[in-house]
Chain A
Amino acid sequence: MTKKTKPTNNNIKKGPGVFSLLKPYRGMVLLLLLFALLSNGINLALPKIVGNGIDAWPKNYVLVQVLTEFLSAAVIIFIFTYLQGILQVRTSEKVARDLRTQLAYKISVQSHAWVEVSNPSKLLTNLTADVDSIKMFVSQAIVSIASSVIIIIGACIMLFSINWKLALVIVAIIPIIGGAFFFVLKKVRVIFLQSRQVIDRLNKVINESILGAAIIRVINSQQPEYEKFLEANTKAKSLGLSILRLFAGLIPVIIFTSNMAGLSILVIGGKFVINGSMSLGDFAAFSSYLSLLIFPILVIGFMSNIIAQASASYQRIKAVLDVPDIPDEGTHAETLKGNIELKDVSVTHGQKPVLQHISLSVPGGSTLAVIGPTAAGKTQLLYLLTGLVKPTTGSILFDDIDLNAYNKENFYSQVGFVFQDSIMFNMTIRENIAFSNSVTDESLARAIATAELKDFIDSLPGKLDSVVSERGTSLSGGQKQRMMLARALAINPKILLLDDFTARVDTNTEMKILKNLRENYPGITLISVTQKIATAGNFDKIIVLMEGEIVATGVHNELMKQSPEYIQIFNSQQSTSNYELQPE
Chain B
Amino acid sequence: MNYNLNEIAATQQKKSTMGGLRKLLLLIKEENKNLLMALAAILTNAGLNLLGPFIIGYVIDHYVVKKDYNGVLLWAGILLAMYVLAAIAGYLQSRLMGGVGQRMLFKLRNSIFNKLQELPVDFFNQNKAGDLISRVNNDTDKINQFFSQSLMQFIATLVTMTGAGIFLLSINLELGLATLVPAVFIFLFTKFASPWIKKRNASSMQRTGALSAEIQESLHNFKVIIAFNRRDYFRNRFNEANTSNYASAIAAGIANNVFIPVYGFFAGTAQLIVLTFGIYLISTGRFSIGLLVSYLAYATNFYNPLRQLAALWTGFQVAMAGWDRISYMLNLSTNLPVIAGTGKEDSNDAIMEFRNVSFGYTEGKEILHHISFSLQRGKTYALVGPTGGGKTTTASLIARLYDPVKGEVLLDGRDIRSYEPAERSNKIGFILQEPFLFTGTVRENIFYSNEAYKNFSNEALEQTIQAAGLQTLLGIFEKGLDTEITSGAESISLGQKQLIAFMRAVLRNPDLLILDEATANIDTITEQILQDILNKLPATTTRVIIAHRLNTIQNADEIFFVNAGEIIRAGSFDHAVDMLLHGERES
Contact yes or no, A287 B113, CB < 8 A: no
Least CB distance from B387 to A in Å reads 2
Least CB distance from B93 to A in Å reads 8
In the complex, A280 Cα to B65 Cα: how many Å?
8
In the complex, A399 Cα to B25 Cα: how many Å?
71
**Stretch of A83-91, A334-342, A515-523 contacting B (4+ beta carbons < 8 Å):** A83-91
> What are the residues of chain B within 8 A of A116 when measuring CB–CB?
222, 489-490
CB-defined A-B contacts under 8 Å, sample of 29: A53-B276, A53-B279, A54-B275, A57-B279, A63-B279, A71-B272, A85-B261, A100-B242, A101-B238, A207-B133, A217-B421, A221-B448, A225-B117, A241-B102, A256-B87, A263-B79, A263-B83, A280-B65, A283-B293, A373-B523, A375-B493, A423-B224, A455-B585, A473-B125, A477-B433, A506-B580, A507-B580, A575-B551, A579-B577
Q: Mark B427-446, 1 if CB is under 8 A from A, else 0.
A: 01110111010110000000
Q: CB of B47 within 8 A of chain A?
A: no
Contact yes or no, A274 B257, CB < 8 A: no
In the complex, A97 Cα to B247 Cα: how many Å?
10
Least CB distance from B328 to A in Å reads 16
A202 in contact with B109 given A270-B69, A374-B499 (CB within 8 Å): yes
> What are the residues of chain B within 8 A of A388 when measuring CB–CB?
223, 226-227
In the complex, A216 Cα to B211 Cα: how many Å?
30
Least CB distance from B504 to A in Å reads 8
Query: Quick one: which of A94-118 are within 8 Å of B by CB?
Result: 94, 96-97, 100-101, 104-105, 107-109, 111-112, 115-116
Contact yes or no, A217 B272, CB < 8 A: no
A375 in contact with B524 given A78-B261, A477-B387 (CB within 8 Å): no
Contact yes or no, B137 A203, CB < 8 A: yes
Q: CB of A563 within 8 A of chain B?
A: no
A478 in contact with B386 given A216-B117, A255-B90, A271-B69 (CB within 8 Å): yes
Contact yes or no, A415 B227, CB < 8 A: yes
Contact yes or no, A208 B487, CB < 8 A: yes
Least CB distance from B285 to A in Å reads 12
Q: CB of B40 within 8 A of chain A?
A: no
**Stretch of A4-12, A166-174, A441-449, A497-505 contacting B (4+ beta carbons < 8 Å):** A497-505
On chain A, the number of residues with a Cβ less than 8 Å from chain B's Cβ atoms is 172
> What are the residues of chain B within 8 A of A481 when measuring CB–CB?
387
Place the interface of chain B in its size category.
Answer: 35 or more
Contact yes or no, A86 B257, CB < 8 A: yes
In the complex, A71 Cα to B215 Cα: how many Å?
51
Least CB distance from B257 to A in Å reads 3
Contact yes or no, A247 B94, CB < 8 A: yes
Contact yes or no, A219 B425, CB < 8 A: yes
**Stretch of B13-21, B248-256, B344-352 contacting A (4+ beta carbons < 8 Å):** B248-256
Query: Quick one: which of A471-520 are within 8 Å of B by CB?
Result: 471, 473, 475-479, 481-482, 487, 491, 500, 502-511
A229 in contact with B258 given A57-B283, A576-B554 (CB within 8 Å): no
**Stretch of B229-237, B369-377, B407-415 contacting A (4+ beta carbons < 8 Å):** B229-237
Q: CB of B326 within 8 A of chain A?
A: no
Additional A-B contacts beyond A89-B250, A222-B118, A284-B296 (14; CB < 8 A): A54-B293, A70-B268, A85-B257, A108-B232, A211-B487, A229-B113, A233-B110, A244-B98, A260-B80, A263-B79, A375-B493, A386-B226, A506-B387, A572-B528
Q: CB of B536 within 8 A of chain A?
A: no
Least CB distance from A440 to B in Å reads 15
Contact yes or no, A244 B521, CB < 8 A: no
> What are the residues of chain A within 8 A of B520 when measuring CB–CB?
500, 503-504
In the complex, A408 Cα to B215 Cα: how many Å?
23
Contact yes or no, A248 B448, CB < 8 A: no
In the complex, A205 Cα to B136 Cα: how many Å?
11
Q: CB of B166 within 8 A of chain A?
A: no
8 shortest interchain CB distances as A-B pairs: A478-B387, A85-B257, A89-B253, A374-B495, A248-B94, A221-B449, A412-B229, A220-B425
Query: Quick one: which of B80-117 are within 8 Å of A by CB?
Result: 80, 83-84, 86-88, 90-91, 94-95, 98-99, 102-103, 105-106, 109-110, 113-114, 116-117
Least CB distance from B478 to A in Å reads 6
Least CB distance from B159 to A in Å reads 15
A487 in contact with B228 given A379-B493, A531-B549 (CB within 8 Å): yes
Across the interface, name the chain B residue whose C-beta is closest to A256.
B87
Across the interface, name the chain B residue whose C-beta is closest to A237.
B106
> What are the residues of chain B within 8 A of A66 when measuring CB–CB?
275-276
Least CB distance from A564 to B in Å reads 12
Contact yes or no, A248 B275, CB < 8 A: no
Counting chain B CB atoms within 10 Å of each CB, the highest count among A371, A509, A572 belongs to A572
In the complex, A206 Cα to B329 Cα: how many Å?
14
A270 in contact with B424 given A60-B283, A373-B525, A473-B125 (CB within 8 Å): no
Counting chain B CB atoms within 10 Å of each CB, the highest count among A71, A283, A415, A503 belongs to A503
Contact yes or no, A569 B524, CB < 8 A: yes
Contact yes or no, B438 A208, CB < 8 A: yes
> What are the residues of chain A within 8 A of B76 when measuring CB–CB?
263, 266-267
Across the interface, name the chain A residue whose C-beta is closest to B103.
A237
Q: CB of B264 within 8 A of chain A?
A: yes
